[in-house]
Structure 1
Amino acid sequence: MSGLEQQLAALMAMPPAQLRSMWRDTYRSPAPDIGPDLLRRGIANRLQERVHGSLTGATKREIARLQKRIERTGKAGPTHAISLKNGTRLVREWNGKSYHVLVCDDGFEFEGRHYASLSHIAREITGAHWSGPRFFGLRKRSEYKPRVSASE
């Protein structure tokens, strides 16, 4: 058993007073007024962060975005955002020609030009309106809700 595993196992047997003391040692601040289970989880999280690292900046931003949505609407709702890492190259063959798109921090690069969305690039390639994520194979048709027209 590793040192981290031993520390995590020891947390399970600690009484509340010892957990509060460990919180002070771990966070360098007084323990919040929460139950022992949440104290254990908070301490365990910090111990694991020290060994494995914390969340990426992108993950923290996504959590903050979802938190704001929950505060505004009361629910996180389904998220359909596509997460692509900077430097990823998307390749699509269309009408016998291969097209390459580079994912950038603030959009996409295609044929030396910058685009804000994949849909703009899909239109550039096909001459017709396409969902960019669908055109590049990042989503399937079944992921979209069908539109209902007013006449139906």
Structure 2
Amino acid sequence: MPHVDEIEAMDRQQLLALWQDLFDVPPPKSLSRPFLRRVLAFEVQARAMGALPKGFITKLERAAGEDAPKRSDGLKPGGRLLREWNGVTHVVDVTEQGFRWRDKTWRSLSAIAREITGAHWSGPRFFGLNGGAGR
């Protein structure tokens, strides 16, 4: 597995090959090289350093309280959604309580998409969960 520093020097074909190696699926079409680099660097670092233990994540979520918004049933806690919009990569984590973006828990992906774009969007569509994101 390459070191995070090596990813910066990779060309597009090397980035696509690394994506395939890490995730065992081809990368989504039309991702920019900067976006590929950020996602791959994060994944390489997470695998090298290890993620937070699941029990610790559960304790953090419990500490957030029972009043936190609930997420939809279509996604599992621990999932991560990535979306590049106007040159900025947005990362949304799926939790037991909802969706975590910019240190805040949100009840719906549509509310997050609206904050990002300033326009009404279907959150699942914006994040590519039902096709058509960015089209």
Per the normalisation by structure 1, the TM-score is: 0.39
Higher RCO (C-alpha under 8 Å, 6+ residues apart)? 2
Q: Which has the larger radius of gyration?
A: 1
